[in-house]
A and B are shown apart, each in its own frame.
Chain A
Amino acid sequence: MEHSVENSTEKQKPQTKELWKVFWILLAITAVEFIIAFQISSDNDFGKWLKITLFILLTFVKSFYIVGNFMHLRHEVKSMIWTIVIPVVFVVWLLAALVYFEGGYIGSVR
């Protein structure tokens, strides 16, 4: 078969290896979350908080891959990255601080 060249530029090959790798990573993390959900008992305080901590950490790992690779933020310029990341960090900080210092209030008004 004759090798044909479309237009003046040669057709580029898909660069999808990295993307599929991220997919498998996300799937594996979700599987780990399932294992944690059914293997660690939440009947004592230690197990309960260990579970919650692990879940939140793994969720942030997953969001790092989604935002970084799928949404391509890792490959944007620095100022763009910080424009998105700093407000999110502030909001997480605000929520964590509010819940930590004021969260108990809801118990006294119910």
Chain B
Amino acid sequence: MAVAKAPLNPDHLTWQGGTQPMKVGYGKLMMWIFLLSDTFTFSALLISYGLVRFSFPTYKDVIPDMTSKTFELSQQYWPIPEKVFEAVPFLHGISLPLVFVGLMTFILIFSSVTMVLAVEAGHRRDKADVEKWMLWTILGGFTFLGSQAWEWAHFIHGSEEGSILANGVKVFGANLVQNEYGPAAFADFFFFITGFHGTHVLSGVVLNIIIFYNASNGVYEKRGHYEMVEKVGLYWHFVDLVWVFVFTFFYLV
């Protein structure tokens, strides 16, 4: 007669002390807290970029007659990003400002959607769907990383013309000490901020691969829930979120 009472909370939602606070599992809450701390790191990076950028003269301060149409790169003033990032693979010599970085943004947003579709499939405990969408997400991650590698390579090698320093030395491309696009600090911030974000993407791809591997092996099916997909999904969306901010503050403003 006695009907086994279903537990009020599924196992993974119960903490050692009993009912979980805020109706989320321990791991998911900790992921949120970690992402919060990562938010602080990235805000610090972007705000210091902003401060240093505005402490440098603009082209208007150095050459009052210059407009954004006649803008030329120089070490004397901060560059405007659309004049720096205007190259697209296979389209050598054609000026397509911000097109490639727009494409990268699209790739990352798209892989964010496939990730959330994997999370949704996990809620339905549809193993095949989780695998499918995780694969798409991994593919998106690799595509983004490849695009970034290309962008870095292009930035480091520089344009064909290069630019001439005050002492007559010609520089091509960028490194941490000097670059043809503007003040050295510009390249430093580019390498550090996009590099730090790229490292996040890379670890995200590694995590996604682990999740895909476990899901295909039926680990989560056996466990009875796909919460791990959700946790890694949070991280992956956060990486996308950071890119939205990097895109705005580094490429658009």
Residues of A bordering B, CB below 8 Å: 11-12, 14-16, 19-20, 22-23, 26-27, 30, 33-34, 37-38, 41-43, 51-52, 55-56, 58-59, 62-63, 66-67, 69-72, 76-77, 79-80, 83-84, 87-88, 91-92, 95, 98-99, 103, 106-107, 110
Q: B110 on the interface (CB 8 Å rule)? A: yes
Interface of B (DSSP majority class): helix
B248 touches A56 (CB 8 A): yes
- Answer whether A106 and B52 are a contact pair too, CB < 8 Å, given A71-B237, A80-B22: yes
| Residue of B23, B241, B248 touching A66 (CB-CB under 8 A) | B241
14 A-B interface contacts by CB (under 8 A):
A11-B126, A15-B120, A16-B120, A27-B109, A42-B68, A58-B248, A71-B234, A72-B230, A76-B22, A79-B22, A80-B29, A83-B32, A91-B40, A106-B52
Chain B 41-58 per-residue mask, 1 if CB under 8 angstroms from chain A, else 0: 001000100111011000
B82 neighbours in A (Cβ, 8 Å): 37-38
Q: B196 on the interface (CB 8 Å rule)? A: no
Q: How far is it, in angstroms, between the C-alpha of A69 and the C-alpha of B47 when the chains are bound? A: 26
B51 touches A62 (CB 8 A): no
A38 neighbours in B (Cβ, 8 Å): 82, 97
B252 touches A55 (CB 8 A): yes
Residues of B bordering A, CB below 8 Å: 21-24, 29, 32, 36, 39-40, 43, 47, 50-52, 54-55, 60, 67-68, 80, 82, 97-98, 102, 105-106, 109-110, 112-113, 115-117, 119-121, 124, 126, 129, 230, 233-234, 237-238, 240-241, 244-245, 248, 252-253
B244 touches A77 (CB 8 A): no
A31 → B minimal CB distance (Å): 9
Q: How far is it, in angstroms, between the C-alpha of A52 and the C-alpha of B24 when the chains are bound? A: 37
Q: In the complex, what residue of chain B is closest to A9 when comparing beta carbons?
A: B125
B253 neighbours in A (Cβ, 8 Å): 51-52, 55
Which 9 A-B pairs have CB atoms at the shortest separation, nearest pair first? Answer: A80-B22, A59-B248, A23-B113, A12-B124, A70-B237, A106-B55, A43-B67, A71-B237, A70-B116
A87 neighbours in B (Cβ, 8 Å): 36
- Answer whether A110 and B55 are a contact pair too, CB < 8 Å, given A66-B237, A71-B237: yes
B237 touches A107 (CB 8 A): no
B55 neighbours in A (Cβ, 8 Å): 106-107, 110
- Answer whether A63 and B245 are a contact pair too, CB < 8 Å, given A14-B129, A76-B22: yes
